[in-house]
Amino acid sequence: MDLDSVRGLKAALSEQILTGLAESVRTRSAFGVSAKALGARPGAPRTLVLGVSTRNGKDFALAVRVQHRAMEDSPEVELIKKKAKGEIDLRYIGAVRKRATPWYQKQQRPLLIGCSVGHYKITAGTLGAFVTPRGGGDVAILSNNHVLANENDAKKGDAVLQQAKDDGGKKATDTVATLDTFVKLKYSGTNFVDCATATLKNGIAANHTKLTGLGKLKGVSSVMVDEGQRVAKVGRTTGLTHGRVTAFEMDNVVIEYDAGNGRFDNQIEIEGDGHTGFCDGGDSGSLIVGSDLRAVALLFADSDQGGANGKGLTYANPIRTVLDTLKVDLAL
């Protein structure tokens, strides 16, 4: 069909079928299913969608999308097929829903590994893990310096929010922790970690080990990171992702921060599986675990390009270096 013919047919069928159908499913049984089943929610019932689709980039067909199983073999669909003389693109799509905010960008109580967190002045980052000081003390959040300490521009006792500011968090109502310790970022010389801790406020519950979609955190890996090692993370922006280590003991990795460029040595490099990247902005601070669900590294940066799929490479601090530098252990 040519484009004008499809448009004309669509208009005629919309008037003939869709208008009447919308009213009928509210008042009677239809196609073996009660009217309530088709139109139980307030507003328009889910029935059929009509539009235009292309065929081989040359001619056009009537696009018909079925939004409820009860409509698949209905008289209405048969009538549409007949009117279109078979020139239709018919597909079942089911319910179409708004793009909901994922759990990791919402408020989480108890706090969970992978959820949105950040110093009250930053946009958003990720809660990597829960730790306890080796000399004794309260449970704290582990993440990056640039997530919890705003690239050194913070002081002990500053508010840390969950969810973070970009996800709607407010200092007055969403402060869950206060900045405790951070390793200063250096813009001359060499860095080895981008990390910080923030002590949980009294009364803030936390699930110390749940890795949503993976299982339970089992501790720190006892083996040296190796190329090809399978890893995963749960982060504030991309949620659960999987990948593999592509290199380790990486030196002279220069990271762009707001305040300047910082050189990092002894870093781990990771690429994402398939056609996706391992992380994106806001995933900073994510805990990276191996297939045994033991911690391997702390994610802190990524590149725009590179990797087998061209989606960029992720860089992370070895987790033992992070824990030893901060003098903390995972809270399990």
Query: For 8-77, what is the HEC assignment?
Result: HHHHHHHHHHHHHHHHHHHHCCECCECHHHHHCCCCCCCCEEEEEEEECCCEEEEEEEECCHHHCCCHHH
Quick check: 169 and 111 in contact, CB under 8 A?
Answer: no
Quick one: 71 and 169 in the same domain? no
pLDDT at 227: 80
Residue ending a domain, among 60, 92, 124, is 92
Of 172-181, 235-244, 306-315, least confident by mean pLDDT is 306-315
Tokens of 143: 């993440």
For residue 97, being part of any structural domain is answered with no
Quick one: 87 and 156 in the same domain? no
Helix (H, G, I), strand (E, B) or coil at 139: coil
Grade residue 56 by pLDDT with cuts at 50, 70 and 90. low
| Residue 61 lies in domain | 3-92
Tell me the per-residue pLDDT of 64-115, one tens digit each, with 9 for 90 and over. Answer: 888 778 788 888 889 999 999 888 888 887 766 555 678 899 999 999 999 9
User: How much is the average pLDDT of 142-157?
Assistant: 97
pLDDT at 18: 79
User: How much is the average pLDDT of 153-164?
Assistant: 98
Quick one: 79 and 43 in the same domain? yes
Tokens of 331: 């809270």
pLDDT at 42: 57
Quick one: 137 and 60 in the same domain? no
Quick one: 49 and 117 in the same domain? no
Quick one: 155 and 241 in the same domain? no
pLDDT at 23: 58
For residue 77, being part of any structural domain is answered with yes
- Read off the amino acid at residue 21: L
Please state, as a whole number, how many other Cβ atoms lie within 10 Å of the Cβ of residue 42: 5
pLDDT at 57: 62
Quick one: 224 and 304 in the same domain? yes
Nearest to 130 by CA among 142, 143, 118: 142
Ranked by mean pLDDT, the top range of 169-173, 262-266, 306-310 is: 169-173
Domain count for the chain: 3
Tokens of 31: 């196609």
Quick one: 162 and 116 in the same domain? yes
pLDDT at 311: 85
User: How much is the average pLDDT of 266-284?
Assistant: 92
Quick check: 33 and 48 in contact, CB under 8 A?
Answer: no
For residue 132, being part of any structural domain is answered with yes
Distance CA 218, CA 226 (A): 19
Residue 176 has pLDDT above 80, yes or no: yes
Tell me the per-residue pLDDT of 23-55, one tens digit each, with 9 for 90 and over. Answer: 554 433 433 434 444 445 556 677 888 888 876
pLDDT at 248: 92
Quick one: 82 and 38 in the same domain? yes
Quick one: 171 and 223 in the same domain? no
For residue 98, being part of any structural domain is answered with no
- The percent of residues above 90 in pLDDT, for the chain, comes to 61
User: How much is the average pLDDT of 250-264?
Assistant: 91
Of 54-63, 142-151, 246-255, least confident by mean pLDDT is 54-63
pLDDT at 98: 58
Grade residue 301 by pLDDT with cuts at 50, 70 and 90. very high
Residue ending a domain, among 169, 200, 231, is 200
Residue ending a domain, among 69, 92, 115, is 92
Quick one: 189 and 83 in the same domain? no
Tell me the per-residue pLDDT of 204-226, one tens digit each, with 9 for 90 and over. Answer: 999 999 999 999 999 999 888 88
pLDDT higher for 326 or 71? 326
Quick check: 22 and 53 in contact, CB under 8 A?
Answer: no
pLDDT at 99: 57
Quick one: 182 and 234 in the same domain? no
For residue 131, being part of any structural domain is answered with yes
Tell me the per-residue pLDDT of 103-120, one tens digit each, with 9 for 90 and over. Answer: 899 999 999 999 999 999
Cα–Cα distances in Å, from 330 out to 9, 192, 215, 242? 65, 19, 16, 22
- Average pLDDT in the chain: 88
For residue 194, being part of any structural domain is answered with yes
Nearest to 212 by CA among 103, 330, 298, 317: 103
Nearest to 194 by CA among 328, 299, 74, 115: 299
For residue 285, being part of any structural domain is answered with yes
